[in-house]
Amino acid sequence: MVVIKNYMEEVVLNLMEGVLDDINMCKCEMCVMDIAALALNDLPPKYIATEKGELYSKANALRNQFEVDVIAAITKAAVLVKRSPRHK
């Protein structure tokens, strides 16, 4: 069975921990998922359906500008969530 997935989700979740370590903020599940959702809404989706597509996307993700764009989106989202967290 072939599954379609947004590879960008994996990239954001993998880079998020490092970014959040640099920002003094809540890292509860709700805040982390809010940051991921906001960041993903600012980034173009990268859908893949095959292992070959995943390898291509991983190679493409190694480009410096790609990583900078993802980190910038995560940072922007983290600032918004830190200002207005949805939890008590």
Is pTM beyond 0.75? Reply is yes
The C-alpha atoms of residue 30 and residue 34 are separated, in whole angstroms, by 6
Task: Evaluate if residue 5 carries a pLDDT over 80.
Answer: yes
Instruction: Compute CA 28 distance to the chain's CA centroid, rounded to the nearest angstrom.
Output: 16
Distance CA 18, CA 5 (A): 23
pLDDT at position 61: 64
- Residue 5's DSSP bridge partners are 48
Q: What are 33-76's pLDDT values in tens digits?
A: 999 999 999 999 988 877 666 666 666 666 677 889 999 999 99
What tens digit of pLDDT does each residue of 25-35 get?
899 999 999 99
